[in-house]
Structure 1
Amino acid sequence: MDIIKNRFSTRIFSEKLLSEDEISLLFEAARWAPSAFNNQPWRFIFADKKNKSELFDKIFDSLVPQNQVWAKNAPLLVVNIALKKYETKDSENPNAAFELGMAVGNLLGQATAMGLHARQMAGFSKEKLIQNLMLPEKYNPITVMAVGYRGKPKHLSENLKKMEPEFAERTRKPLIDLFIPN
């Protein structure tokens, strides 16, 4: 439970680059997520600032300005993508986004275990991202994620600093509130 409880989504990233081994471990964790028919409908595009700076810029360009303010410091950006159809049959996969979410959950747990942090972003232009990356129709980008080591809050505005765990209480609903009585 400690890894799950200690995970949080920061906006404060160090510019320290991740090694190839660290990046591989993150995606290896994602690879082992469950999926219907073992279809594994998740795909990822990742870019680090140093080795794939042009790709990093294309992903970064799709982010809304509020996310660009802090995501510019993250050393790694990841596009989390769901396949729209099953690969084994020509029909829509209604669970692809859910299954991608399980893969991303595995990745987040692994990141926390490695002392890394990640933040999911729904604040991006899907159209701009598809255009920038020339994504084929079969791919549905669901979120963009910033990943890296935690940095110092000096780069954040006071409003954003207040949302970080050391400045704001981290709460969850009581367990009983998660159940629907019947």
Structure 2
Amino acid sequence: MRTLSISSLIATLGALLLAGCSDPQLHGLVSGQTLLLSRQTTLDAAGSGQAGYYCRRVICAGDDGENNAVRGLLEFDLGALPKNFQGDPIVSASLRIYQGPSSRTYAKLQSLVVEHIRVPNLLDFAAFDAPALETARNEAADEGYLELDVTEALRGDLALGRSSVQFRLRFAQPTNHDQQSDLALFSTADDYAPQLILRFRQP
């Protein structure tokens, strides 16, 4: 049986530690950051501005009493992110929004659709029908937090050097033509405001 001296044992352990530290999985420690909502609005299909006025303290999606589709829009400023990102540092990104009781809206208009969009001005009516770049869906009608994976949306905007990331909330069925307002409300209050929760690798 071979016996290692103390000095050989220390050298062996040192080599193992160095080998472990060279593992690329151990490099680039993951950290997190939460971005707060920087801009929001609600638009209706008629462009009347009524939904925006009614929903000025919240974000709304659904339809109104005149059977116009109503869509909510959110924007997060990316200026607070580290400037020394290299390659693809994003591990994950989640959009976190607080939904009020919405069982009636889901029953009438089906699932909530969350779309990544890019428009010059979120407050312009063009944002209502701007093409969706990525899409996520939610079927849960209960009151509480919704978390949706928007990793690819954020990666795309960072790759293009954009200063913000934008999302649109709508329902799969624009209206059910019942002449009733069916809206899901999403909080913008300080403790329940939308958040973009990020995890990324440190350079």
* TM-score normalised by structure 2 residue count: 0.28
* TM-score normalised by structure 1 residue count: 0.30
Give the strand-richer structure, 1 or 2: 2
Give the helix-richer structure, 1 or 2: 1
